Structure 1
């Protein structure tokens, strides 16, 4: 008898166990207390395949606590190969069984534990399930089968009559349950979610640094208004001003604050065109009205100001208002921190980002609804291989066939949706395509409408209201680009991707339109019809959500169906789509100029043709191209931009050799691995000098704690103290050392005479720091300053270990040293041309075990050998960095991944020495697969 524990983790979950077992068994028997459609939908394709194979099964569930979903029962009943029964519970007898039994020719696999058939139980909850494989007729198997049979006989068949009666009872019970739960919405029971708690803690930290402004960036529907109310409740200002851009959300914001602070003893009021509560303690104001009347208030009238939709705050109305008031603290909140032509919202809030939440973080924090994505191979009749994606008219023409509409309707019927009433968005190629889809759906009895940029605001708002109203017959809106961002329709529970994906940004924006949480909606269903066009792999980049990727990591993500995506979200592609995307990834050259140009042009298109002159233009979009790749290609972003746009202004800018050299030198530091140097550069753009204490203060904006040695090292580093002479000659230093301080060099003073140069400096430093904050957070990683499982180059170890030697010496060798830190750099797969005598037997043997073979000239009793063997006794720390290949496509040098510290467990042989080592921290499942497997 074999047994093992099955838990939900990044590497595995119960859903995978069930689907793999259903794909191989001869028959199956489920007995679970609860069955929800959220869980059933995840099993639909596997159950369909089992039906095709002639595999019969029994599913038994119960009415215990009325938690089983009638929709789930009705969907399961549609499978002809499944016998469905329900154990009807009463006050005396409950039903809490969770058992999954699979029969094979000579054995049974039995999984018994804690998981019901719900999305969370199958994928993300903390669940324990024991899987036992045993020969047939074993005593344990016989006992389980007998118990199952007894319960099966006590259960009743899920007839149409039973399902009708159960649905009616379920609806009534659900209404009662909702009313009973209302008590938990009382203000004293409402507590911040994890996102809100992190934001509030960071706001406190910034105020302790005597900062007076901060920005929070999070998607619509993630609770920013509640977060601001929690912070105001903590700070308790005497007077508050809450500024909104749209009047329709003003009243909701006021109600949120009143709800959370029923006993705060402050008066609440509004300032609009029709109502002016001048003396209210907490005033909620429309910006248009406030801009006309702000001078009626004293500048110090408000202690705390909240600016909702803060990306508008760079507009002239806001600038006038915010310049007038002098509060103790100003909080900006935005989902889209896009830059205006004059000023970035980051600059407006002094670069202080208290929190930034992108899609994957929102899913992990459970502040948006999870989504179930199904990638479905489009009809083979529709051929897009010879059509350029820019030719929307031709694509639309080929997609406008009724056979495809029937296929879409079939898939909608098969996968279903969560909730009582279907509310869907369909994203189309152009207006003609949207009109065609709406007409075709109307012909099928699905009330639909189409919208495009040609429709005015009133028409759009009316259509959105109708879709939100569950009593209105409208079920679908088909749109072209206009719902990509900024539109919030919480009731949407089904999204149809009906066009070829051209941009990860647009894909994420469209996906986001259905992720707002809503009562009665547990998840969003996404059906993506994937054609045979040449850029299908962009879907994988969008879903992957990783800040960096290469072919290997992207292929592993596709092959594992994006197992790293957090929470109950489920991503599934059919076999044809998956193989097609994997083949495209193999064929694509992600570092070629052709690919980078395509990325750039598509990004510019997303920005409605506006040239992205600055790096921060990329930062503001989830799913944007990585501009560091542009820098790596051409030396700096402006050099890349010059090739793309050939504008005289950029060409002239780069003709100043000193400026171009300095800009290129700082550009090559991206992406930064610690914020110290960039924070010092940024401060020196505004002030002439920084003492050690002042430098530490600037760094603490980005890192919770910083030791004096690291501050001094960073100060020396910006003076180019650790560059070799060739590097110093190539680029002049912007900073000099003077009496225990760093000061602007004459070169920097001269460059800052130009507002254009200064703005590009700010952009470069701002991008580096905010990207760092997004990827590394505020944690102090100590010395050396390494974050587990991040990417590094050899030379980074010199900076991050505070090495005081010439940093260019940190290259070329597999074993480097800085003080008592030893850094081991390993290529796991040697190049095909490597001589056999140099083919070291380096191997990751398990998530915690590593084998390293030293260079051929190392002996155990050599200085280097003893340094490693006796590392504990000598006080040395061993750090491991690995990469799968030395170079990837187009001879691009791949960075190393830091796997943390490790200890020598044993060693043998001489010249070379073979070491067996153990890592302090296990390698995460997804990364382990990336490093050890080929897809």
Structure 2
């Protein structure tokens, strides 16, 4: 019994409470002002399960403000166990109720508050709902039930006639709203979104340091064109050149700019097959036309040049244009920074990345629509166990099952889709599989077509146009080759995953095809038919979206329904799929050579079979493996490639002692936790020496503020001042530092003079910096340079707190110190504790409080003891680093930094038991990960 406040947070949400309540109740009664299909879809499975238990329900909703969707009401009516009524809102009476009532054997649960049945109200909006659990005879429950009965009596039955009438009314209303109206439009009314704002700030900063090129990486549909227009508006170039790969997007880009530059006296023009407006201030050109006409312009004709779909810029036609023009600033924009054989797109833009937005960030910033993912166990007749899922012919044969087609259609009808007409993409294992699916769907009355790489661009465009057209009967396109830029259909409202997932990258790309924002949808429905093959767990890697993962964090995420996924996005797997994935993760060793080689080979396949020689190759795709795992196996990435590929040429290169040693030295620092050292080395790639002052300036290109003592410390680190004798023997010294400036050592300079060696050295440095920017951003974290919830090893804080003794001594016990900085390294469970729960003294009391025991020898009267128990009075900072287990899959686990804590209680000694109040409340999903067992 009792009351509690329910809010949507990263820890829980109203949806979770409703699902749990439906599982246990014997009847339910809802009354909500609005029901949208987006909210109802999330409750379909719990409602179906309740029906199977014989649970009866009643639902009242209203036509108030015309927000309730007919489609949602029709779906509710399809449940035999639910009675539905609609309160027809009259002018003098609005209908605002939001109540969910559950009846149990001896009591009632009533949830009353602000939440309607919509995806955002149930998952992500700021909503306040109060849950009251009470005996049925209590006055409050009696009042609620009496009021509900009254509402039920005065509401109308949701008859078919009523729904038809209401549907026609809504359609007429929608049509009236779509009639063109005269609008007074001014460019300044359009404001940048978060991504655009961040990108513009970064571009401005790069320019302020004299940089003339930058690259923006963001998923399709996140607003890159608008971002470039906002930036151009800020820079105000006299002349602009905007270059695209395909003519279809040229007109759209021009219109975007015209919208923002209203009444600014700028002329716009096209350079295409049919238009030659070379004199325009802002010229929009296809690369095909530009390669014919570029020499007719002066080299400095344009102040600002934009390359859309910049990953094409490595091709010869783009190269000619890039080498010819000399603008003040060049911007590249791409969704996939792929490389060609000869060069990489990052190098073309001087490795300056204005911003990179991947799927989770796009969802977080609401740049794309949320998705509702349903993981559905495939039918038993489809048996993929014991076969190689790369054997496409065999997979195709086993997927071509008539019963499976019926099952897919049944699920498609049950879960439905947002929007009036179905616009579906089905991803298949092969052309044969796609043709089979289309044929079977057509037989069953679902108009379908097939699209694959063999179709011409006009054929593709025609097919896409038909799917986009609400009047066309086409409902489904079955696709094979998903890498075509042509398959971009903003109005797609459902995706069918019909092939076994063998790569998180492919999974994310398939998902991304339906995430474009469009007026006709508020979310994407994703149905994934999960088979019994050996790589099912890869789905979890893709959905988890975490840069780093281990068994434990992955298992907790799956069991808890991926709580860290942002906004109204919803991930639901049925029990069989979930258990299958958890069992596979238990069996898999993520650090074994076998697993790492499989991961590498799968990535190579996506790289068109080209050996990915460079770390930067892994930045192409969202969902790519973390190449640092390959480094950890073999001391350098190149060594891992040489062994995996049995590549004698590479092995010969690595026989060069200084090259191999330099590569190992750089690789051992990845992923970097402080950018200073690598920025100094990057400068030395093209200069003979660097002073403290120059280094300061260079570092400011990457972080907003620079600590001068840290710059000096970085030089000392590169000078190997803090290496022990073993490190000095095995690692090549890269610089000599005399206290004021540094020069390359002769041996390192010789390595860089070799054209075969230099690209790999440069790659390691570029990768280190790029990944640092992605993970740490531009912020200066001070000294010690620690970011909340990042991963650290025990030795990292030595570097990050400017420790001036041998850094390798910074390991051993659970408490290490550098002056007033105390670093507490805490294992939550001992090794033998992995499978069974035993009482261990270091633990979270709650999200703000931690129970810790000092090293055994510590007394309250010792200096160390006093520093800990009255840390605040003595100006001592207690930094907490926590990990669940010391080791997993044979590899030492890193710690997670959870910030500073202050002692609020203590007792005993040798050890002292300390209660620490954390300065930062730990995020809910991380708290769950640390405290839950699966």
Q: TM bucket by the smaller chain? A: over 0.9
The correspondence of residues 85-96 of structure 1 with structure 2, limited to 5 A, is 85-96=85-96
The correspondence of residues 863-882 of structure 1 with structure 2, limited to 5 A, is 863-882=863-882
What is the Cα deviation at residue 756 of structure 1? 2.1
Mapped to 2, the partners of 1:369 and 1:139 lie a distance apart of 44
1:367 pairs with 2:367: yes
Partner SS state of residue 756, structure 1: coil
Mapped to 2, the partners of 1:466 and 1:653 lie a distance apart of 55
- Does the aligned pair in 2 maintain the 1:242–1:285 contact within 8 Å? yes
What is the Cα deviation at residue 814 of structure 1? 0.7
- Does the aligned pair in 2 maintain the 1:485–1:513 contact within 8 Å? no
Partner SS state of residue 845, structure 1: strand
What is the Cα deviation at residue 123 of structure 1? 0.6
Give a deviation string over 1:864-899, Cα, whole Å, max 9, x none.
21221232222110000011111111x200000101
Partner SS state of residue 109, structure 2: strand
What is the Cα deviation at residue 151 of structure 1? 1.7
What is the Cα deviation at residue 820 of structure 1? 1.0
Mapped to 2, the partners of 1:184 and 1:926 lie a distance apart of 46
1:286 pairs with 2:277: no
Partner SS state of residue 294, structure 1: helix
The equivalent residue for 2:79 is 79
1:827 pairs with 2:827: yes
Mapped to 2, the partners of 1:453 and 1:180 lie a distance apart of 39
Structure 1's 66 and 584: CA in aligned 2 closer, same or farther, altered over 3 A?
same
- Does the aligned pair in 2 maintain the 1:840–1:853 contact within 8 Å? no
1:251 pairs with 2:267: no
Mapped to 2, the partners of 1:655 and 1:479 lie a distance apart of 47
What is the Cα deviation at residue 186 of structure 1? 5.5
Give a deviation string over 1:80-122, Cα, whole Å, max 9, x none.
1111111111222111111111111222111111111111111
The correspondence of residues 569-588 of structure 1 with structure 2, limited to 5 A, is 569-588=569-588
What is the Cα deviation at residue 180 of structure 1? 8.8
Mapped to 1, the partners of 2:645 and 2:471 lie a distance apart of 51
Mapped to 2, the partners of 1:425 and 1:866 lie a distance apart of 65
Mapped to 2, the partners of 1:391 and 1:210 lie a distance apart of 52
Mapped to 1, the partners of 2:479 and 2:65 lie a distance apart of 41
Mapped to 1, the partners of 2:469 and 2:606 lie a distance apart of 31
Partner SS state of residue 404, structure 2: helix
Partner SS state of residue 534, structure 2: coil
1:427 pairs with 2:431: no
The equivalent residue for 1:921 is 920
Mapped to 2, the partners of 1:770 and 1:704 lie a distance apart of 16
The equivalent residue for 2:897 is 898
1:261 pairs with 2:223: no
The equivalent residue for 1:276 is 276
Q: Which moved more, 1:737-746 or 1:534-543?
A: 737-746
What is the Cα deviation at residue 389 of structure 1? 1.0
Partner SS state of residue 374, structure 1: strand
1:118 pairs with 2:118: yes
The equivalent residue for 1:790 is 790
- Does the aligned pair in 2 maintain the 1:830–1:839 contact within 8 Å? no
The equivalent residue for 1:7 is 7
The correspondence of residues 654-693 of structure 1 with structure 2, limited to 5 A, is 654-693=654-693
Mapped to 2, the partners of 1:119 and 1:587 lie a distance apart of 36
Question: 5+ unaligned residues in a row in structure 1: which ranges?
Answer: none
Mapped to 1, the partners of 2:278 and 2:180 lie a distance apart of 39
Structure 1's 860 and 184: CA in aligned 2 closer, same or farther, altered over 3 A?
farther
Mapped to 2, the partners of 1:566 and 1:869 lie a distance apart of 39
Mapped to 2, the partners of 1:732 and 1:398 lie a distance apart of 55
The equivalent residue for 1:931 is 930
What is the Cα deviation at residue 320 of structure 1? 2.0
The equivalent residue for 1:329 is 329
Q: Which moved more, 1:476-485 or 1:605-614?
A: 476-485
What is the Cα deviation at residue 613 of structure 1? 0.9
TM-score calculated relative to the size of structure 2 = 0.98
Partner SS state of residue 454, structure 2: coil
- Does the aligned pair in 2 maintain the 1:840–1:854 contact within 8 Å? no
- Does the aligned pair in 2 maintain the 1:434–1:480 contact within 8 Å? yes
1:319 pairs with 2:331: no
The equivalent residue for 2:859 is 859
Partner SS state of residue 757, structure 2: helix
Partner SS state of residue 685, structure 1: helix
Mapped to 2, the partners of 1:701 and 1:236 lie a distance apart of 23
What is the Cα deviation at residue 21 of structure 1? 0.6
- Does the aligned pair in 1 maintain the 2:461–2:486 contact within 8 Å? no
Partner SS state of residue 831, structure 2: coil
Structure 1's 667 and 839: CA in aligned 2 closer, same or farther, altered over 3 A?
farther
Partner SS state of residue 828, structure 1: strand
The correspondence of residues 727-876 of structure 1 with structure 2, limited to 5 A, is 727-738=727-738, 740-832=740-832, 841-876=841-876
- Does the aligned pair in 1 maintain the 2:381–2:401 contact within 8 Å? no
The equivalent residue for 2:32 is 32
Q: Which moved more, 1:172-181 or 1:359-368?
A: 172-181
Mapped to 1, the partners of 2:71 and 2:537 lie a distance apart of 34
The correspondence of residues 424-573 of structure 1 with structure 2, limited to 5 A, is 424-483=424-483, 487-573=487-573
Structure 1's 614 and 814: CA in aligned 2 closer, same or farther, altered over 3 A?
same
Give a deviation string over 1:580-605, Cα, whole Å, max 9, x none.
11111111111111111111111111
What is the Cα deviation at residue 134 of structure 1? 1.5
The equivalent residue for 1:211 is 211
Partner SS state of residue 803, structure 1: coil
Mapped to 2, the partners of 1:536 and 1:545 lie a distance apart of 16
The equivalent residue for 1:62 is 62
The equivalent residue for 2:351 is 351
The equivalent residue for 2:23 is 23
What is the Cα deviation at residue 241 of structure 1? 1.0
Structure 1's 840 and 524: CA in aligned 2 closer, same or farther, altered over 3 A?
closer
1:48 pairs with 2:48: yes
Give a deviation string over 1:59-82, Cα, whole Å, max 9, x none.
111111101111111111111111
Mapped to 2, the partners of 1:484 and 1:247 lie a distance apart of 16
Partner SS state of residue 613, structure 2: coil
Give a deviation string over 1:121-144, Cα, whole Å, max 9, x none.
111111111111122121222222
Give a deviation string over 1:39-77, Cα, whole Å, max 9, x none.
000000000001111111111111111011111111111
Matched positions, count: 932
The equivalent residue for 2:227 is 227
Q: Which moved more, 1:576-585 or 1:269-278?
A: 269-278
TM-score calculated relative to the size of structure 1 = 0.98
Mapped to 2, the partners of 1:182 and 1:154 lie a distance apart of 43
Structure 1's 527 and 305: CA in aligned 2 closer, same or farther, altered over 3 A?
same
- Does the aligned pair in 2 maintain the 1:483–1:510 contact within 8 Å? no
- Does the aligned pair in 2 maintain the 1:245–1:287 contact within 8 Å? yes
The equivalent residue for 1:156 is 156
Mapped to 1, the partners of 2:484 and 2:907 lie a distance apart of 61
1:382 pairs with 2:389: no
- Does the aligned pair in 2 maintain the 1:484–1:510 contact within 8 Å? no
Q: What is the Cα-based RMSD across aligned positions, in Å?
A: 1.7
Question: 5+ unaligned residues in a row in structure 2: which ranges?
Answer: none
Partner SS state of residue 686, structure 2: coil
Give a deviation string over 1:389-437, Cα, whole Å, max 9, x none.
1222112111111111111110011000111111111111112111111
Partner SS state of residue 897, structure 2: strand
Partner SS state of residue 781, structure 2: coil
Give a deviation string over 1:468-512, Cα, whole Å, max 9, x none.
222222211112234576631112111111111111111111111
The correspondence of residues 588-627 of structure 1 with structure 2, limited to 5 A, is 588-627=588-627
What is the Cα deviation at residue 281 of structure 1? 0.7
Mapped to 2, the partners of 1:722 and 1:9 lie a distance apart of 45
What is the Cα deviation at residue 831 of structure 1? 2.1
What is the Cα deviation at residue 316 of structure 1? 2.1
What is the Cα deviation at residue 179 of structure 1? 5.1
Mapped to 1, the partners of 2:176 and 2:569 lie a distance apart of 29
Give a deviation string over 1:758-812, Cα, whole Å, max 9, x none.
1111111111111111122111111111111110001100111111111111011
